[in-house]
Structure 1
Amino acid sequence: MENNRGRRLEQKINWLYQYDKELASAFKVDCDEFLEEFEKLQSFRFSDFSKIWQEKNFTYVFAGQNYALLLEEFCQNCFHNVKKYIMFPRTLFTQIGAFYLLYGLYYKQPLKEWIKVRLTLEEYQKIFELVQEMKSRRELDSVYIFAKMKVEDAFLYVATQTPLGPEDKFVKRWQPYYNDTFTSSNTQSSLAKFHGICKSSDLIDKLKNTNDEYQELLRQYSAKCPGVSAFPSTIIGDLQNAYSQFQRETPAEEEEEEQGPVQAKRLIKNRAMANKNAVYRGCKKVKTAVDMNTNDSPISSEMSD
C-alpha cells in the first residue's frame, strides 16, 4: 500500500515536471519568433516592440495554461527563459527586445500576488549595462522602464537564478544557465517542410511510384535469390498517419491563417476567455504602459490589449 502510494506520487511529480518542461519549450518558440521579428526592425523603440506585441496577441500568452495552480510556476519559468536572451544576446536589438518582453510579461501576469523577477548580481549587472548603453544612445524608453520596475519593487535580488531546495521539484528543474536561445527555428522549418511535402500531391505521387517500383524490383530479386526476402513498405501510410496527427494537433493555427487578422484575434481572445481559471479575470487590475500615459512619460499606450 505504501509502495503504491509512493509510486503514484513519483508518477505525479514526473508528469508535472514533463508538463512544465513542455510549456517552457512552447514558450521559448514564441520568444524566438517574437525577438526575431523585433530584430528585423533594427529599432530600440518601445513603440515598435508594442506593435509586434499586438500583432502576435502576446497578451494571451498565459491563456493556454490549463491548471491555475501551476500559473505561478509558469510565470517564474517565463521570466527565467526571457532573461536568457538578455544574458546571451544575439544582437543588441534582441537584447533590448528581451528586456521589453520581461517588462511586458511582468505587468501581464494573471496572478493575485505577482511574482517578482529574480535577479542575481550577474543578471542585474547585465541589465544595468544594457540600460546604460541605451542611455548613451539617447534611447530613453528602457531607462524609464528600468526605473519604473525598480521603484515598483518588481525585482527580487537573489544569489541563484532559480530557487533551491531538497525537494524533487527544486532538484529536478534546477539547471545552470546555458545558451539555447534561437534554436527553435530549425525545428519550425523542418515542420514547415514536412507540411509542404504532405500537402503536395505531386510529391506524394512521385514518392509512391518510386516506392512501388522499388518493391517490384525487390520482389524480382528475392525470387532469384532465396536468401533475400521481400518486405512490405509502409512509408506512404506512415507519412499519411503522421500528417493526420500533425493536422489534429494544429487545427487552430491553420484556421487562423485562413481568416483575416481581425477574425484570428477574435478566435484567440475567445479561447482565452473560455478558460475556466478564475484568477485570470477581475481579481486585480493589470498595469501596463497605458497606466503610465502621462505628459512626462516617454512610454505611450501602445501595449494595450
Structure 2
Amino acid sequence: MNFPGLKEDCETLLSRFQATDSVRYEEFLAIWKDMQFSKIFVGGMRTLERNAFTGEAFSIACLYFLPPYTFQIRVGALYLLYGLYSTQLCEPKRQIRISLKDWSEVQSFHQDLISANHLDAAYVFLQMRLKRAFHFTAMPKFLTFQIHKNTPNSSGREEFKDVQDRVSNLVTSDTLEEIQNIHEHYRKTKCLISADKSQPDKSLSLAKDDFVDGLKNFVTEHQLWKLEKRTPKTKSDEEKEATSQESEGSERARALARIKAKSYNSVTVAPKSRRHRQVQLVSANTDPTDSQKRKRPRSRKSRRKTSKEMEDSDSDDDYEVSSKKSQHPKSSRMPVISEEEMSSSGEEFLITKRKRTK
C-alpha cells in the first residue's frame, strides 16, 4: 500500500534534527514534540491498514538507519525508530524488520556509539533490544513470487548521505603490509648493488626510509580526526573555541595595524617626472588643522586652467578696447586743442609773419 506524505514527514523531521548539529536525544525530543509526530498513527484506519502503515513507517526509518548515510542522520533514524515503536497503536506491537546481512552494520554502529561516548543513543538501542523491537529476517522486505508490483524507488535524500572515506578505502592494513614488504625488498636490492653491502649508497636513495611510517601516521591522524568530529562538543570546548577565535582576530588586527603604521611612516622617493607631486611626511603628533591650512601644490591641470582663463581675460580686454575705439573714431584721429594753445599759437604765427615782411 502507498501512503503519500509519510516519507516527506520523516525526512522533514530528520532534516530539522540535522540542522541542530547535535546527536543528543533532548534535541530530537524537542523537535518530535514541536511537530506532534506521535499523532501520525491517529486516524480512521482499520487494523489491516494500520499494520501496513506502521510497517511502511518502519521501513522508511530503517532506510536512514543503515549506511551510506551520515552518523548524525543514522542516530536520528535510531531515535525515530524508537519513537515510532513506542507510540504505535498496533496490538500486539509490530516489530522492525532487520535482515541478517544488515545486522552486522547495526552492531558496529552500536560500538561506535559507545566508543564516541554517545551514551544516550546507546541506551536507546539497548532499550529496543530489551523490548524485542527487532525482527531478524532473511530479507528486509517480503519476498513475493509471480507478482509484478510497481514499487516506488526507495532512495533517500542525497544531502543525508555520508561522504565516502576514500582514505580508509585506499589505505588498508593489507595494503600497508604489502607496501612494507616491497620497501624492505627494495632496500635489500640497493644494498646488493652498492659497494658497501651493509648500507646502500646515497645516490640510490630515491625513496625515503620512513615512507611507510609516515603513511601509517597519516592514516591514524585521519582516523583520530574523524572520531573527534563525532564526539559531542561540551560548553568548555565551545568556550575554548570562542576564546581562540577572539585571540586570532586580535592578533590579525594588531598585524594590520603594524603594517599600516609602517606604510604611513615611510615615504617613497618619487621619480623625476612626478617630483612635483611628492608626498610630505606628516607625523601623528601634529594637528590636523595645520595640514589643512597648508596649501596643496597646484597640479598641471589647474595650471592649464588658470593660463587658459588669463588668455580669455586678455582677449576680453582687447575686445573692450577695440569696441571703445570703434564708438569714437573722430576723437581718436583728430586731437582736441584748448583755447590757451590756440592763443599761444596765434601770437607765434603773427610774430613770424611780421619778421618776414621786414
TM-score when normalising by structure 1: 0.48
* More contact order relative to length (CA 8 Å, sep ≥ 6): 1
TM-score, length-scaled by structure 2: 0.41
